[in-house]
């Protein structure tokens, strides 16, 4: 059996990048226990593809790991997708460390296996990559990105020919093919292979030409918008999208506009995080804007802040979803319409759908399941989907969250409110009058993945009869999502699940004309006690 030291030495010989070689040599020369943390397993491919810190070894993101994933994907495509070689794979990448190298390696691995690949010649937002798959009729798509993860990370996201992300069991099938690949001996095609095509800006321009189709109201006077891409790759595309749609030129946070994978002004480039939107909110105040918008680094998520009587505030993911849903449902027609959301998002969307007489579907956590749900209902006309983690789809394609088109519609929502003599706050008051005042809350408990799964399973096996003295009315398990839903007698809904991408347990609460905060705090204490019993 090969020892960790021998395996690390073999990786060192195969490693193509000098900086990773220097890192790996230092690990080999250093503490064996630290070296073991890099070589005691391998990075597992799942429904989020691959995502980890860039570094040496099979448990980090590097070119050897990317090549192994590309080879496994290629082998799966050749078996399971008709004409995969001819239809090819579209590949995009963001501005993170080594993204371009991972993308080019993927193309040359595919070419070595006889599959045509089309690589964007510069950084591109994830929604543009996903949209391009169906535009070109490609067999698959790969986006090299770690989305909203910390700066040190990178990742590898895989799409089907529908433009939707992979889901179970396809992720498991691809993972099996990847496991059969030796990452140290993956064949690459020769440079300038005829099977590798570099894409110019034409596809992105075609995407931009289609963006105007998401607008619902003609000739609305634009409002003043402040915007930041948080050092990501969405900036230029958003500005051009606004121009295409007649929405004016947004005020830009200049120091955050150019793509920069080190994210120098935001340690955690996620609009959900406290502080991430501080710069754009400050700009919006100075420029007397009506709306502040932010994208995550690959521009598939949208953050929103609005002015209120007591100052600017960030909207939650559900609040943004309510606004977009109400706007779209009130400006479309037909009882064949369908909206889709996820288990952990607000239940208000289904209430709104019933009011408007349209179909509503609830699916598992993760936007990939929204795409799958749309595909499962070809007889219905999809008009809107969202998840509370700032993911929104306001168009027919791509079948993935799209922060660019969502930003366009959000600007239209604010513009329509202004033309009606009201504001976004006024829109919320109108929703509260019609449906009750929905209050959303979230909590998270930092916990290693293995323990978090054990804790949630224990809670499922022995659910509490009350939370903070309020009786539990119903308990519902969603085993495919690893989620447990508790509905209390006072109408509060509490949900808990292990995070699929971070070392934490996530808790979600919702109340109508009430506040779920106390219930969330009490449920967090229950989970902490269970965890303590495992660690004792």
Confidence of residue 122 (pLDDT cuts 50, 70, 90): very high
Domain ranges of the chain: 4-188, 439-535
pLDDT for the residue 501: 67
pLDDT at 48: 76
pLDDT at 536: 66
pLDDT attached to residue 191: 87
Closest by CA position to 77, among listed 117, 104, 42, 38: 117
Using alpha carbons only, what angle is made at residue 469 by residues 464 and 470, rounded to the nearest 5 degrees? 80
With a cut of 70, say whether residue 102 has pLDDT above it: yes
pLDDT level of residue 220 (50, 70, 90 thresholds): confident
> How does pLDDT run across 364-397, given as a tens digit for each residue?
988 999 999 999 999 999 999 999 999 999 999 9
Question: H helices within 187-250, ranges in order?
Answer: 202-211, 235-244
Instruction: Tell me how far apart the 2 most distant CA atoms of the chain are, in Å.
Output: 74
Mean of the pLDDT values across residues 298-319? 97
35-46: per-residue pLDDT in tens?
A: 999 999 999 998
**For 466, what's the count of Cα atoms within 13 Å in the CB-facing half-sphere?**
5
499 CB-near residues (< 8 Å, 6+ apart): 444, 449, 452, 505, 506
CATH class label, 4-188: alpha beta
424's tokens: 């976004």
Q: What is the CA radius of gyration of the chain?
A: 23
Give the pLDDT mean for 426-448.
95
pLDDT, the chain, mean: 95
Give the side-chain half-sphere CA count within 13 A for 132. 27
State yes or no: pLDDT of 506 exceeds 90: yes
CATH code of the domain made up of 439-535: 3.30.310.50
Cα 53 from Cα 152, distance rounded (Å): 5
Q: What are phi and psi of 272, to 5 degrees?
A: -75, -25
502 compared with 522, residue with greater pLDDT: 522
Mean pLDDT across 311-335: 97
Residue 158 has phi, psi (to 5 degrees) of: -115, 135
- Look at residue 323 and tell me whether its pLDDT is greater than 90: yes
- Whether 535 has a pLDDT exceeding 90, the answer reads no
CA distance 434 to 450: 43
Specify the pLDDT at position 475: 95
DSSP secondary structure string for all residues of 468-513: TTEEEEEEEEEGGGTEEEEEETTS-EEEEEE-SSSSEEEEEEEEES
Structure tokens at 186: 């993956």
Residues 6+ apart with CB under 8 A from 384: 324, 325, 328, 329, 339, 340, 392, 393, 394
* Res 2 pLDDT > 80: no
Secondary structure letter of residue 48 according to DSSP: T
Q: What is the pLDDT of residue 1?
A: 61
Residue 288 pLDDT > 70: yes
pLDDT score, position 209: 96
Q: What is the pLDDT, as a whole number, of residue 481? A: 81
Query: What pLDDT is recorded for position 203?
Result: 97
State the average pLDDT over residues 509-528: 95
CA distances to 82, 87, 90, 318 from 387, rounded to whole Å, are 32, 31, 26, 7
Secondary structure (3-state) at 275:
coil
Confidence of residue 290 (pLDDT cuts 50, 70, 90): very high
pLDDT at 502 over 80: no
The pLDDT of 173-180, averaged and rounded, is 96
Question: Which whole number is the average pLDDT over 465-482?
Answer: 91
Q: What is the pTM of this model?
A: 0.95
242, pLDDT greater than 80: yes
Tell me which of 99, 147, 345, 452 is the catalytic residue: 147
Alpha-carbon separation of residue 419 from 223, 325, 415 (angstroms): 9, 19, 6
Helix (H) or strand (E) run with residue 2 in it: none
In Å, how far are 126, 472, 509, 526, 530 from 514, measured between CA atoms? 38, 16, 11, 22, 28
CA 353, chain centre distance (Å): 24
> Is residue 147 flagged as an active site residue?
yes
């Amino acid at each position: 059996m090969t020892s960790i030291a021998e395996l690390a030495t073999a990786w060192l010989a195969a490693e193509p990048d000098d900086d990773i070689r220097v890192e790996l040599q230092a690990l080999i020369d250093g503490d064996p226990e630290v070296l073991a943390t890099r070589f005691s397993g391998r990075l597992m491919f799942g429904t989020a593809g691959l995502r980890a810190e860039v570094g040496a070894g099979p448990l980090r993101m590097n070119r050897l790991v990317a090549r192994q994933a590309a080879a496994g994907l290629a082998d799966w495509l050749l078996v399971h997708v008709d004409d995969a070689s001819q239809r090819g794979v579209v590949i995009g990448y963001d501005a993170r460390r080594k993204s371009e190298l991972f993308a080019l390696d993927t193309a040359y691995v595919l070419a070595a296996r006889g599959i045509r690949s089309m690589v964007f010649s510069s950084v591109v937002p994830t929604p543009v990559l996903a949209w391009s798959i169906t535009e070109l009729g490609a067999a698959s798509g790969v986006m090299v990105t770690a989305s909203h993860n910390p700066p040190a990370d990178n990742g590898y996201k895989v799409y089907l020919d529908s433009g939707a992300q992979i889901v179970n069991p396809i992720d498991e099938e691809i993972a099996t093919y990847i496991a059969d690949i030796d990452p140290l001996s993956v064949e690459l095609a020769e440079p300038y292979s005829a099977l590798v095509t570099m894409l110019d800006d034409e596809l992105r321009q075609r995407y931009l030409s289609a963006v105007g189709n998401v607008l619902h109201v003609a000739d609305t006077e634009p409002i003043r918008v402040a915007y930041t891409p948080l050092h990501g790759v969405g900036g230029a595309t958003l500005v051009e999208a606004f121009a295409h749609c007649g929405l004016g030129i947004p005020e830009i946070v200049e120091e955050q506009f150019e793509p920069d994978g080190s994210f120098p002004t935001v340690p955690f480039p996620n609009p959900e995080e406290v502080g991430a939107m501080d710069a754009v909110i400050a700009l919006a105040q100075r420029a007397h804007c009506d709306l502040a918008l932010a994208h995550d680094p690959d521009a598939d998520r949208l953050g929103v802040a609005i002015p209120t009587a007591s100052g600017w505030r960030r909207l939650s993911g559900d609040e943004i979803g309510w606004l977009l849903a109400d706007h779209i449902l009130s400006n479309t027609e037909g009882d064949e319409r369908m909206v889709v959301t996820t288990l952990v998002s607000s239940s208000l969307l289904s209430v709104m759908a019933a009011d408007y007489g349209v179909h509503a579907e609830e699916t598992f956590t993760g936007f990939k399941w929204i795409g799958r749900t749309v595909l499962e209902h070809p007889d219905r006309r999809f008009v809107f989907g969202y998840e509370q983690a700032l993911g929104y789809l306001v168009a027919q394609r791509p079948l993935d969250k799209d922060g660019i088109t969502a930003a366009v519609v959000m600007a239209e929502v604010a513009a329509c409110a202004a033309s009606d003599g009201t504001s976004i706050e006024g829109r919320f008051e109108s929703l509260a009058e019609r449906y009750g005042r929905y209050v959303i809350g979230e909590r998270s408990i930092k916990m290693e993945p293995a323990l978090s799964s054990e804790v949630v399973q224990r809670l499922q096996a022995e659910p509490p009869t009350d939370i903070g003295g309020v009786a539990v009315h119903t308990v519902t398990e969603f085993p495919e999502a690893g989620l447990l839903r508790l509905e209390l007698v006072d109408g509060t809904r509490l949900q808990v699940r292990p995070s699929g991408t971070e070392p934490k347990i996530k808790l979600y609460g919702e109340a109508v004309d009430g506040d779920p905060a106390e219930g969330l705090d009490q449920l967090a204490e229950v989970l902490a006690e269970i965890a303590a019993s495992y660690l004792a």
